[in-house]
Amino acid sequence: MTERLTDPRLLELLVAPVTQNPLRYDAGAQELVDDKGGLAFPIRDGIPIMLVEEARSLDS
């Protein structure tokens, strides 16, 4: 199944939950990326999962 962010305007409103940094949308990986905070939050079925427990570390 191809997943995509349902409303691109949502990206303008969302910030990283821990750092409050702006997020970058990575369409290929279907993630919202906090480059400064080092975390990538998955998007599943068009819904951003903004839980730190679900985030992928960019260090790996």
- Assess contact for 24 and 35: CB atoms under 8 A: yes
Question: Which domains are present in the chain?
Answer: 9-57 (2.20.25.10)
Q: How far is CA 33 from each of CA 7, 12, 45, 59, rounded to the nearest angstrom?
A: 16, 13, 17, 12
Helices (H) and strands (E) in the chain, counts: 1, 5
Kindly report the pTM of this predicted structure.
0.86
Q: State the average pLDDT over residues 50-54.
A: 98
Tokens in use for 5?
A: 């962010």
Give the position of tokens 């191809």. Answer: 2
Q: State the average pLDDT over residues 7-23.
A: 90
- Assess contact for 46 and 10: CB atoms under 8 A: no
- At 29-46, the pLDDT tens digits run 999 999 999 999 999 998
